[in-house]
Structure 1
Amino acid sequence: MYKNKYEPALDIYRRTLDNQLKLIHGDHRDIAASLSGISWALGYIGHTEEALEYSMQSLAIQQRCTPSYHPMLAHTLRAI
């Protein structure tokens, strides 16, 4: 049902990020999660360079706002 729906997912992640940036000021793990989602969708549609940029942004936020043993951090590092 949802197979190969990466473009709509990318649009949703981007709209979510836009809304989060309006409401949340500073680093927040929800923003990092949205950046990771954008990276994931971009990777699946073949935009690997852009995906890496979003992963690096997500990683930077995660390193500032989560403990070094947080699973989200490990997931992002694995994706990079």
Structure 2
Amino acid sequence: MSETVTVYSKPNCVQCTGTYRFLDNAGIEYRVVDLNETPSALEYVTEDLGYSQAPVVVVDDHNHWSGLRPDKIAALAAAMKTT
């Protein structure tokens, strides 16, 4: 699991900021894609993944979620330590 996590985000999003904080504290590298500036990203998270709430965190094609999910971030951090 060496790929960088992608966080699809919106400006002034409290849950997005919280997600960054939890990812930072867990030592997980991530890149941020602004949904307001990238129409193709907005289409991806709404049409392909089916989410309507930011942030959307994508680890890979099978591991993604929406919203502030400290439990998912902790599980991801634990999985990254074992690989």
The TM-score normalised by the length of structure 2 is 0.25
More helix by share: 1
Indicate the structure whose relative CO is greater, using CA pairs within 8 Å and at least 6 residues apart.
2
More strand by share: 2
